[in-house]
Amino acid sequence: MTTIVARSGNAAAEAAREENAERKTSKSSGKAPKPGKDGWHRFTVDVWITNLNTIEFGIYKRSRNRAKSRQFTSDMDIYAEVIENGERTGLIGYREDLWKQKTGMDKRLVLKLFNETVNWRATMDLLVGRSLQMTIGSRGLPVTAFSINTDDDNFLIYLERSANKWPFMPENFSFFLMNDNQPEFYRLKRDLIDLGGDFTLYDQHGNVVGALDGKVFSLGGKWYGKIKQGHADKRLLTVMKLFAGMMIFNGDSRRHMKALYRDVRRGKIKPKIETQEADLYKNPRRTR
């Protein structure tokens, strides 16, 4: 047992070292992106329908991607691209084995945002423990919670689905960003008339500061996003891009939490937290 715990701790420490190394090699600028002429920064998240893409297809392509970025794991599946000003500026992938091959508490959704040269920029994790806690608290209404780790921010971003939801009414997600130790709160509300996954972004004063417009007839999925000047810093753009990429998993994530809730109540599974997720809950002031 001691050996297993030691190995888990070493693996977590190694993952942290790799993530820090990835941050140091990041070439991203801390400056806010320039908005368009109309005062809005626009981007597109385009989901592909097949894996036959230039990023993953080809001899030794996946090996080269893993060598380029430590965050590009062996089970990473790139499924979407981010377009800004007519150029590809990002790629979104997910850990396919964790989502498709695992079951119960081991089944986790992990999305990663890379730049156009496959260097890591951010990770979005479905927090199974936190999500199950809030689903139990809402007496079975599936509530999903995500942590977002960006490449050069001192704070994690927690994005959560609201449990305050009536049947057939729009869902809401909320999160906040820290600026000079001051929080700025945001809410993503699904549009009442929604055909393709449309969301409106509100700030803490109730002002509209962004939107995601999903296209109904796209083959894989396509979202046109925009954020108003003054709000469009890198972190908010990262949240919006990853959120759009998460939309194709949104329904399955809710069903996953609903199934976990039922299985835990019936005693069919014993809750456990995977090591990497457990690290996100640890007390930063603990003795090390």
Mark 64-86 as b/e (b = at least 16 C-beta within 10 Å): ebeeebbbbbeebbbbbbbbbee
Under the banding of pLDDT at 50, 70 and 90, the label for residue 104 is very high
Cα(146)–Cα(134) distance, integer angstroms: 12
Under the banding of pLDDT at 50, 70 and 90, the label for residue 105 is very high
Q: Which amino acid is at 263?
A: D
- Across 15-35, average pLDDT: 48
Q: Tell me: pLDDT of 12 over 70.
A: no
DSSP state of 164: -
Q: Tell me: pLDDT of 27 over 80.
A: no
Q: Tell me: pLDDT of 35 over 70.
A: no
User: Residue 85: phi, psi to the nearest 5?
Assistant: 55, 40
Global pTM reads 0.82
Q: Tell me: pLDDT of 92 over 80.
A: yes
- For the stretch 45-86, pLDDT in tens is 999 866 555 555 554 455 556 656 678 888 999 999 999 999
Closest residue by Cα to residue 75 from 100, 48, 105: 100
- For the stretch 154-180, pLDDT in tens is 899 999 999 998 888 899 999 999 998
Give the per-residue pLDDT at 262: 97
Listed in order, strand segments (DSSP E) in 167-235 are 172-179, 182-190, 199-203, 208-214, 221-228
- For the stretch 203-226, pLDDT in tens is 999 999 999 999 866 557 899 999
Give the per-residue pLDDT at 288: 72
CB atoms within 10 A of CB 127: 22
